[in-house]
Amino acid sequence: MKLFKRHNNVLPGFGLTLGFTIFYLSVIVLIPLSALVFRTAGLTWGEFISTVTAPRVLASYKVTFGAAMIAAAVNSIFGVLVAWVLVRYRFPGRRIVDALVDLPFALPTAVAGITLATIYSPNGWVGRFLEPHGIKVAFTPLGIVLAMTFIGLPFVVRTVQPVMEEIEVELEEAAVCLGASRRQTLQRVIFPMLLPSILTGFALSFARAVGEYGSIIFIAGNMPMVSEITPLLIITKLEQFDYQGATAIACVMLLASFSMLLVINLLQRWSRRFSD
């Protein structure tokens, strides 16, 4: 005879909590996304294709996804270096530096955009030194990359940092004892263990940059066909009362977001298998 032990949980039973979860997700996520798709369904397939492939829209895709890719690649390099310093070294002000990494999470995006535009404008603190060399950051696509890099850095650092903390120093010492150089130790011991988390951080940083709006519009210049991002184009169509055009472009961005979520989940699954 089997004896079943009853567990007393703090929360109510499975049925009630599951029902509340489905209700909450439906109100917050599923219903708004469904309304977006249903509004786009008012367009014929030909109208939808012509809307999302218009020259101005394609140019915004190129700016948005291209800049996000560059920013995520930059964050993948320097984010790993920041995580390495925070994990492997002890120095005065380390806790302050560690807290500053999370600043883009807490800082309002509009404040970040205004600050970056002020600093890197031709007469700004940094821009005044770059302008004589022909380097223009503010109100150019380079400014978009800068803003996306700023808001995406924490995703790489916070993804890589826990994995780096779990790497035992003894592994590096064993590699050195076996005659491995610093480069070989980094390439064959450390990097393979960090690769899944680096790829996950890259995907998270890229996904965050693609959907960014507030910090970019103040530094981008917002010139059609040059420095106009897709979220701004959606806002522009809404202001012109072109709701179906706006929702059509939003559906493309939604599809891109779901694709990135799939990639992130696959990378996390691979990371768990790799660690096991």
Is residue 3 classed as helix, strand or coil in its secondary structure?
Answer: coil
CATH, residue 160: 1.10.3720.10
Burial class (CB within 10 angstroms; exposed 0-12, middle 13-18, buried 19+) of 183: exposed
Q: Is residue 159 part of a domain?
A: yes
Number of domains in the chain: 1
The mean pLDDT of 229-242, rounded to a whole number, is 91
Interatomic CA distance for residues 83 and 271, integer angstroms: 18
In terms of C-beta distances under 8 Å and separation of at least 24 residues, what long-range contacts does 10-13 make, across chains too?
none
Of residues 71 and 274, the one with the higher pLDDT is 71
Q: Is the pLDDT of residue 196 over 90?
A: no
Q: Is residue 11 part of a domain?
A: no
The mean pLDDT of 225-244, rounded to a whole number, is 91
pLDDT number for residue 275: 58
Q: Is residue 243 part of a domain?
A: yes
For 156-183, how does the pLDDT look when each residue is reduced to its tens digit (9 = 90+)?
Answer: 999 999 988 888 777 777 877 877 777 7
Q: Does an H or E element contain 16, and which?
A: helix 14-25
The mean pLDDT of 245-253, rounded to a whole number, is 90
Fill in the amino acid letter for 125. Answer: W
Q: Does an H or E element contain 113, and which?
A: helix 109-120
Q: Is residue 234 part of a domain?
A: yes
Q: Is residue 15 part of a domain?
A: no
Q: Write out the residue range of the structural domain in which residue 248 sits.
A: 40-275
Q: Is the pLDDT of residue 104 over 70?
A: yes
Q: Is residue 35 part of a domain?
A: no
Q: Is residue 31 part of a domain?
A: no
Q: Is residue 254 part of a domain?
A: yes
pTM of the entire predicted model: 0.84
pLDDT number for residue 233: 92
pLDDT number for residue 272: 66
